[in-house]
Amino acid sequence: MQIEKNLKTLSLSLIIFALPFVDFVKNNFDELDIIIGKSFYFLIIILGFILIIFSYAIIFIFKKIDFYNALLIIVLFFWFFFKHNLLNLQIKKFLEKFNIISIEYSSEISLIILVILSIWFSILIYKKNLFLRRFLYIFFILSFFTSIIQISFFEKKNKVDHEVKKNDINFPDKLKIKKQNIYFFILDGMQPIKEFEKYYELNLQNFLNNTESKEYKYFHNTYNLYDNTTHGLSAIFYLNDIFTNDKKLKEKNKILYPTLLRYNNKSDLINNLNSLGYSFKWIGNFFAYCPKFNIKYCLNKNENTLIDTYLYINFFRQSPVIQIIINFGYFFNFDFNRHFFFRLNDGMGRLVDYLKVNAINEIKPTFYFIHHMSPHWPYITNSDCSYKNFPGNKNFEGYKSAYLCNIKKIQETINFLDKYDPNSTIIFQSDHNWLMSKNKQEKKKIFNLIKLNKTCKIDENLNLNNVNVLRLVFSCMTGNDPNYITIY
């Protein structure tokens, strides 16, 4: 009788332990070819081993508990751990709705609630509460098989979704010519050149002359659709404005950047790239880090290795692990800016380093989307691009140094691509103006430097913001008449 009880408890523990992995596979089904490999199995084995060690620690502390109940307690803690992000999002919505306390504390509140629930459940298991045990059997077995069924039908549903999906913005290929690589650099918060020169009393004409000599064109007085990163970059992927006339999000645009990149092949940009035979590669930053959203799009992938950091970051993003590590770092005065953000936020530098060791002209043409987190706060670069931390999000000297570093990096990137990928389309644009803008209209003014195909005719009076420049690029490569968005 006791053996039967132990086997049931062990079976329940294994199901609870497996659920985060099953849900991970379900939520990233489009990336199975990347997920399922040595590193995934290694992660399962290591976490299983760690949970067994914790189970024996429980036995050591509480002498009266047996291994099977100790394991059940530990795997419950493990399962609750992976509900942190879900609960955190719900708490954020609640706090935003009622404005009770700052949403900055939503993560801590979520963690406290989950710890309390875990302890409460553990006490009931320790006391051998029969009702709880029956509840756990029913709940987790139903959860497990529900997830398995969803995975089984996901592929069929996914195919149907792709078949019925229609693009609002579509560029059929009328020319059937060889496609070249496209590099789209978003320089977060970079001021238009004239405004920067005026405020800091500097002259960047040499920079403009150098870029012009390499067939780049700088457009002054360019206004973007929106004054913030989330809406601006979402519009890029939908190739359209995302709000209705009464300032509400359009029904098809309710999933915003960077979350929309989790939904594979759903945005108009990705759909058009796929139909034209392009690969999509994404270089993000700390605030929108590729492995947390879609491993498939990441520039660097540790494919089929024993320890895949991208895979592990994606797996643990539902838990508080990453935030806990960061908080520990701050507690011990670890300089994340120097050792982590400085490199991670340097999108231009990371791209060049990648291309130096990887073939640029791959079998498929590639659209590189580089979200370079500078000169946006945090200001952690000197004008020569060495590390220097300027505190505060309105540090004018820090912004100046970051801006001048960007000018230097743009020139280096142009020189590199001019040598190794001369026929490519290259766009350097910001998503919005600097943080110190006086009003929303001023904050929409952006830096705008582009190099297009020589056959692509450009109207000098056109407002080539993020969306319009992509519409122009797609029109030129496919032979379609451009249709531009007008800013109101």
Query: Pairing relation of β-strands 222-223 and 279-283?
Result: unpaired
pLDDT band at 160 (very low <50, low <70, confident <90, very high): very low
Do 8 and 61 belong to one domain?
yes
Cβ 236 vs Cβ 465: under 8 Å: no
pLDDT of residue 179: 93
DSSP 221: S
Mean pLDDT value across residues 422-434 = 97
For residue 441, give its domain range.
182-301+308-478
Quickly count: other Cβ atoms within 10 Å of residue 298's Cβ.
20
In a domain, 483, yes or no: no
More confident residue, 139 or 265: 139
352 has a pLDDT exceeding 60: yes
Q: How many CB atoms lie within 10 A of CB 441?
A: 12
- Which helix (H) or strand (E) covers residue 390, if one does? strand 387-390
The answer as to whether 176 is a domain residue is no
Domain membership flag for residue 169: no
Average of per-residue pLDDT across 355-381: 89
Is residue 469 one of the residues assigned to a domain?
Answer: yes
Is 247 a member of any domain? yes
In a domain, 240, yes or no: yes
| 191 shares its domain with 257 | yes
Q: Which two tokens stand for residue 435?
A: 């943080």
What mean pLDDT is reported for the chain? Answer: 88
Domains held by the chain: number? 2
Instruction: Let me know if residue 486 belongs to a domain.
Output: no
Q: Are residues 339 and 432 in the same domain?
A: yes
Q: What is the pLDDT of residues 276-325, one digit of tens each?
A: 999 999 999 988 888 888 888 988 665 556 777 778 888 888 898 877 88
**Gyration radius of the chain over CA positions:** 26
Same-domain pairing of 223 and 346 = yes
- Of the pLDDT bands very low, low, confident and very high (cuts 50, 70, 90), residue 181 is very high
pLDDT at position 315 is 87
484 domain-assigned: no
The tokens describing 242, both together, are 């995302």
